[in-house]
Amino acid sequence: MFTLACDNMTMQQIRPGSMYPLGANYDGSGVNFALFSQVADKVELCLFDEDDKETRIEMTEQNSYVWHNYISGIQPGQRYGYRVYGPYDPAKGMRCNPNKLLLDPYAKAIEGNIDGDESLFSYRFADPDGPMNDLDSADHTMKSAVVNPYFDWGNDQHPNTPYHDSVIYEAHVRGMTNLNKDVPPQIRGTYAGLAHPSVIEYLKKLGITALELMPIHQFVNDSFLQEKGLSNYWGYNTIGFFAPHNAYACSGQRGEQVNEFKAMVKAYHRAGIEIILDVVYNHTAEGNDMGPTLSFRGIDNQSYYRLVDGDPRHYFDTTGTGNSLLMRSPHALQLITDSLRYWVTEMHVDGFRFDLAATLARQFQEVDKLSAFFDIVEQDPVISRVKLIAEPWDLGSGGYQVGGFPSSWSEWNGRYRDCVRDFWRSQPSTLPEFASRLLGSSDLYQVNGRRPVASVNFITAHDGFTMNDLVTYNNKHNMANGEDNRDGESNNRSWNCGVEGPTTISDVNNLRQRQLRNLFSTLLVSQGIPMICGGDEVERTQQGNNNAYCQDNEISWRSWDSTPEQEDLLQFVSKLIHLRLEHPVLHRRRFFSGREPGEDVSTIPQIEWFDHTGSIMDMDDWQNTHAFSMMIYLNGSDIPEVDWYGNRMVDNDFILIFNAHYEPIMFTLPSERYGKKWQLLIDTYNPKGPELSYEAGFAITAQARSFLLLKSSDCPAVRREDS
């Protein structure tokens, strides 16, 4: 043990400390610093005072390639970084450069951002293949900050909403509240703004059970975007896997962002709403071999990143961002699992959505469902018990893995999105697949014992058109991104209903409104977990921009000034959500079982499919390539599940009528044995119409491109006893 004396800093004792836990951990008296680097010859801990004067402390202890020391007297808010001395040989994949101040991979708070200065890079711009760049980056990079781990959680508990009872709302911290006049100006666009009672009450009234936040891990605002007057709005450019993004905090950047985030989670839990984080563990913000040296690259490049076999100068990239984490490295895997566990235990989040999750399964070249990552997650007593949602694809070969993730995972169902879009724009041969997607995609998930909740159903998400733009534009309009409209997906399966962009033609606008109601109705009566893209319920538009990743402005922000039409849609969506949550037959835990071949026709199955005449659909009906309509009976008295208390569940019966044809179709309701009286609850053609009653065998008109939902009028228990 020895003491350290330096200007503007108190006398501090330096002790051996511990190799675990990694990172900077405050215990009330001082801080234990621990950093993994297998390649380092020497590591310096760099402390910064209020004047940004740097004090370097050589770390004296090393065990199992973990460099560590304990320094007494260090308080929360202390800014720090590391300088790692070791080999610099890019051709061999080694990139240590002590001239670069490095972020702690386990930093729980980060101050500042990068500015794009040449000192951030380990090469000279004029000579990329030349000698190492020895410019010091300390004045141009981010700094780690020590945090106070103590927070008064009170009696906070995870809501633990069952998967099948979940309705997810995808939102952006800034975009959600930047234009909300009910939120005080000084906290708009922050964690505190998101926790404002008006926002929570809005989501509660809508019926949302889980708020899925786009990336809030500390990310880098790319300098090339800043030069164009843009910014990395979405945040899929992580550099700190333990730190809440500092620009989303109004209270400070030296640990205050941590408490602000915790307070937000606590407020949502009090309202019974879960917090799910969109996390990016597939790559980092350091990019390819021409990217900056900010953290992992300079600490131990070969342990954290997957390098090209036979050419370790370059990075193996299945993410489109320049690099991929090395998923067979125990140190990269430890980083990811430690991070996930931290967000659950210390930050109290309720689940994760994994960006480009197929990359996490690339232990070697191919996507491997038995990879080390899945094994670790499956056996982890903390991570395995929260909601795990995969974006089941990446950009590499064999990367599209919808239906291929382990049984404990749910997945963004891209095939659901595509099929529903195609059905409502009347594409041929969509009816059979549409039926499967509507009932939870058993063709994708049932084979390995999974249930409907394996499918996270969505029609729109942050990446792509908003739902309003989906029915308003045939083509992308991304000129604001500064790439001459070359970026973004060109095949959107969208339909402008006859006119490109906004119009005053009432027939077109009426059709667009109806299509919005059709899409929302389909989403909210589908088996699985529905996910709504934030703002879709009030017709949010990005003016046709389907790749608004760099638009931190009103193009992407949610407007809270609603027109009467937008308010009508909001009420319609809220009605649908509450209807879904109130009726278990609309969100079953298990797949429906239909009528088996040779089964007694007098029995009533869990589900029945009818054509417009009221006749049970046969193979000819299903194989008709130009069939765009069907009627579905859902049996509420045959739910093979019990409720939380072990009681048999009995629900109303429902009839769902879909008509994606351009003309009205008359549907004859099923015979009396399916139900004597029916009440019309939803008509997307006439959403404000009366809730009319119909009797068995009556004819009901489904107008062009419309959806009808009818509920049995009698009490199911009484009806079955009388039958």
Q: What is the mean pLDDT of residues 288-305?
A: 97
Query: pLDDT confidence of 625, banded at 50, 70, 90?
Result: confident
The residue type found at 575 is: K
Q: Which structure tokens are listed for 357? A: 């999750």
Would you state the pLDDT for residue 602?
Answer: 74
Choosing from 54, 104, 317, 355, which is the catalytic residue? 355
Tell me: pLDDT of 2 over 80. no
Q: Encode 563-621 in three state secondary structure.
A: CHHHHHHHHHHHHHHHHHHHCHHHCCCCCCCCCCCCCCCCCCCCEEEECCCCCECCHHH
Q: Under a CB-based contact definition with an 8 Å cutoff, are residues 654 and 583 in contact? A: yes
Which residue has 């040779």 as its token pair? Answer: 598
Name which of 72, 70, 4 is nearest 34 in CA terms.
70
Q: Under a CB-based contact definition with an 8 Å cutoff, are residues 262 and 147 in contact? A: no
Q: Which long-range contacts (CB under 8 A, 24 or more apart) does 15-19 make?
A: 15/69, 15/70, 15/71, 15/72, 16/60, 16/61, 16/68, 16/69, 16/70, 17/61, 17/68, 17/69, 17/70, 17/71, 18/68, 18/70, 19/61, 19/63, 19/64, 19/66, 19/68
Would you state the pLDDT for residue 717?
Answer: 55
How far apart CA 431 and CA 223 sit, in angstroms, is 47
Q: Under a CB-based contact definition with an 8 Å cutoff, are residues 518 and 684 in contact? A: yes
Name which of 273, 270, 275, 222 is nearest 244 in CA terms.
275
CA dist list (Å): 515 to 77, 468, 472, 522: 52, 9, 10, 10
What does the pLDDT look like over 674-716, one tens digit per residue? 999 999 999 999 999 999 999 999 999 999 999 999 999 875 5
What count of residues does the chain have?
A: 723
How far apart CA 404 and CA 369 sit, in angstroms, is 7
The residue type found at 530 is: P
Q: Write the CB contacts of 377 (distance below 8 Å, at least 6 apart in sequence).
A: 337, 340, 383, 384, 388
Name which of 205, 200, 203, 216 is nearest 168 in CA terms.
203
The three-point CA angle 120-124-130 to 5° equals 130
Give whichever of 331-335, 361-365, 642-646 has the largest mean pLDDT.
331-335
391 is catalytic: yes
How far apart CA 548 and CA 94 sit, in angstroms, is 36
Q: What is the mean pLDDT of residues 371-386?
A: 93
How far apart CA 195 and CA 206 sit, in angstroms, is 16
Q: What b-and-e string marks burial along 335-364, b requiring 16 or more CB atoms within 10 Å of the CB?
A: bbbbbbebbbebbbbbbbbbbbbbbbbbbe
Q: Write the CB contacts of 691 (distance below 8 Å, at least 6 apart in sequence).
A: 679, 680, 681
For the beta carbon of residue 593, count every other beta carbon within 10 angstroms.
12
Tell me: pLDDT of 718 over 50. no
How far apart CA 663 and CA 719 sit, in angstroms, is 36
Would you state the pLDDT for residue 721?
Answer: 42
Sign of CA dihedral 433, 436, 440, 441: negative
Burial zone of 668 (CB within 10 Å; 0-12 exposed, 13-18 middle, 19+ buried): middle
What one-character DSSP code corresponds to residue 131?
A: S
Query: pLDDT confidence of 589, banded at 50, 70, 90?
Result: very high
Burial zone of 583 (CB within 10 Å; 0-12 exposed, 13-18 middle, 19+ buried): middle
By mean pLDDT, which of 53-67, 138-152, 554-568, 702-716 is the weakest?
702-716
Q: Which structure tokens are listed for 562? A: 């609603």
Would you state the pLDDT for residue 408?
Answer: 92
Query: pLDDT confidence of 370, banded at 50, 70, 90?
Result: low
Please give the span between the terminal C-alpha atoms of the chain, in angstroms, as a whole number: 86
Which residue has 């394996």 as its token pair? Answer: 454
Q: Which structure tokens are listed for 385? A: 């018990």
Would you state the pLDDT for residue 114?
Answer: 95
Q: What b-and-e string marks burial along 601-621, b requiring 16 or more CB atoms within 10 Å of the CB?
A: eeebbbbbbbbbebeebeeeb
Strands 9-15 and 66-72: antiparallel
By mean pLDDT, which of 139-153, 302-316, 495-509, 704-718 is the weakest?
704-718
Task: Classify 242 as helix, strand or coil.
Answer: strand
Q: Which structure tokens are listed for 223? A: 């300098």
Strands 387-390 and 410-412: parallel
What does the pLDDT look like over 558-570, one tens digit per residue? 999 999 999 999 9
Would you state the pLDDT for residue 720?
Answer: 44
Tell me: pLDDT of 368 over 90. no
Q: What is the mean pLDDT of residues 457-486?
A: 97
Q: What is the mean pLDDT of residues 196-205?
A: 98
Q: In this prediction, what percent of the chain has a pLDDT beyond 70?
A: 96
How far is CA 549 from its chain centroid?
Answer: 14
Choosing from 104, 391, 394, 422, which is the catalytic residue? 391
DSSP H helices in 271-329: 296-304
Q: What is the mean pLDDT of residues 604-620?
A: 94
Q: Under a CB-based contact definition with an 8 Å cutoff, are residues 60 and 19 in contact? A: no
The three-point CA angle 299-326-328 to 5° equals 120
355 is catalytic: yes
Tell me: pLDDT of 16 over 80. yes
CA dist list (Å): 554 to 6, 394, 542, 563: 48, 29, 8, 17
Q: What b-and-e string marks burial along 193-220, b requiring 16 or more CB atoms within 10 Å of the CB?
A: bbbbeebbebbeebbbbbbbbbbbbbbb
The residue type found at 693 is: S
By mean pLDDT, which of 95-99, 368-372, 387-391 is the weakest?
368-372
Q: What is the mean pLDDT of residues 306-332?
A: 94
DSSP H helices in 284-394: 296-304, 330-345, 372-379
Does 554 or 3 have the greater pLDDT score?
A: 554
How far apart CA 412 and CA 355 sit, in angstroms, is 10
Q: What is the average pLDDT score of the chain?
A: 94
Q: Under a CB-based contact definition with an 8 Å cutoff, are residues 412 and 390 in contact? A: yes
